[in-house]
Structure 1
Amino acid sequence: MTKRATIAVGLTLAVLGTTGCGLLDLASDSEEDTGITAGLAELPQPDDGEYTVRVVDLDAATEAAGLERPTDLSPEAITAWVGPLSGMKRDDSFAPVIAQMPEVTNPRMTYQTQEFHDIAGWSAVDVTSYAEVVDLPGTFASLAGDFDDSTLEHLPEVADGVRTVGDGEDGRGDISRRTVVQPMGAPVRMAHRDGRLAVSSSTSDTQDWLEGGPESTLADDPRASALAEALDAQDVISAQLVVGSNFRVGDYARVPGAAQQVGPLPDHAFDAVGLGWAAPDGDPRMVAVYHFADEESADASVAPLEELFTDGRDSRGRKLAETYGLDEVTSDGSVVTVTLGAARPEAAGELSSRLVRRDVPFQHS
């Protein structure tokens, strides 16, 4: 059963076109299976039940934001590209989409991109789209781009087909050996296959990827796959999923001076949240998807989430409606989908920050 609630907010969202919307299939370079679901199929399941996933079409996001991919690796050129896609203000405006660089490119050290390239043989500038799971301290990323067998040939082999930056066992860091590629000093494994790179903290995961992928991927996790299907239905070009986390109100530290009453919050617990961004006609379009235990819980949460985005407040007492324009709230199976426009120009970046902080609207009672 699908329930639908629509709110008129004086904001008309354009229908997504086909150009620049949706992600190319990372698994086969075809367009038969596209988007977030295809990205999940590239990623191994982490040992821990809690993890973060990003699946991003950097080419589409760059175009949507009106940016140009750098032609050199100067700090100024990299910052002018990476900054707006990460939510930073540029020329008195904000990009309509959030499209973070892969964690394996050490995006906090963008001023060292040239050094990264000198060590690894490639950099974030060479990545056109990617899927990545972060289960700290471990990571695994599948990067699409203009890569070939020569990209990694300068690196030593640690296993058949697997190259390495740094010596030692998987996950064993040596702070004295830190580089921009190895921020914790642990070795980083890399491999090339069919124009894509695998970059990981795990030798075995990299070998599995070379041989066609692991037996069990994140596409087999019903929580992640349900969120991915909902985001694919919205044709997002960038997505972030947080799976298996605790979203209960009060379980994260409140900000000093925070309001005593947040919400109203959904009564039913959700165990995974996904965010997606698109920019039809250049206007920000955001999607938040919530995974519940069952269809009944999802159906019962449509009205509370509708009320939350219309009249609710966050932990600082700020009304969500001052930042987001609610388009609609729907449920389908165990997933509730909320589609949003921007009432403030920084809305796209703020939504991502709220998920990181587990602030409203990513809390349940």
Structure 2
Amino acid sequence: MAGMTVLGITSIKRSLCAATMALFGAGGALACGGIYTVQLDDTLSEIADRLYKDVKVLPILHRDNRAVVGDDPDELRPGSKLKLPCIDGRPIGLEVAIDVTNPPPAQVSVPQGTERSEDVGVINLVTAGDFTPFTDRALAQGGMITEMVSLAIGQAGRTENFRINWINDRTAHLDPLMREGMMDLAFPSYRPDCATLRADPLCQEFLFSDPMFELLTLLFVNKRHPIPFSQDIDIEGKTLCRPEGFSLADLDRADRRWISEKKITLVQPLAVQDCFAMLAAGDVDGVAINEFTGRAAVRDLGLMEQVEALEGRALAIETLHALVHKSHPRATELLELINSGLADIRKTGEYQRVIDRHLPQFWSSL
């Protein structure tokens, strides 16, 4: 089949918040930056995502507001005032806006003087939502994997010294948050087959914990426009969807090469539900995602009569892990912390009890 172009559709983003509407000062110059009043349930990472459309500015906002925020960027007091700098023309429309004709260039790496997480004596973990039933702030205990990680670290005696940071821009987890040392551990992550994918950035730069859970990745299709999937060649020439920030290793493994050899068109919107909305509209041929998150999205969108999972052949069988960057000065210690804690909760039976608390509830909700 003729090769298809791989598309990274990153333009499907959240609509602009009213707080970022254009505000013009004297002489018509665009006013950028200014004072932001913290609202109930705000976090610094959410402010970075909403007002700058780039969570990578988080360390800059934290550095500039440490006197107000303190060490925890996600513990903000409603009513407190933050000074938000102008970066790439954002944010605009703020109180006491600053007239910036020639704003300084944005800096998205760790600013000089920014404390690494080990300097403040807290293990910082980063995860994201929209990954039912494994990680989501709306789920009990933050989801099944979040509870496992919390129990594993607690079992190892670090209950008072770790913090879970929720940053839904998955593309920022590895770079810059992990690469620059702003976060110590990330979870959950699929582990590529590093024996055959040595060039994969995950294999080159990160170390993986022991597996926490095994799951199937399935192909979800539109019942009105079904496609066969008895062998890989059936998918060549098709358009598949997988949300931005989710691993692509299974789509480009050594015996498949759907992406690197341009055998498919890959669409990557921001959210899981975006993929299924495209599938229902006929804009993509299939959604490639784990069976749990996929089934939850089908349920939430009311697409049970229109979308089905092809259960006869899995795209992949994968495991979920925590990971740490190889350059981290305590990489070995952190992995041992997670692995020993996982071993302990398996031995005590708490690991199975976590599964028994989450999975029956998930299946009963479908």
TM-score bucket of the superposed structures, by smaller chain? under 0.3
- Structure with more helix by fraction: 2
- Structure with more strand by fraction: 1
TM-score, L = length of structure 1: 0.26
TM-score, L = length of structure 2: 0.26
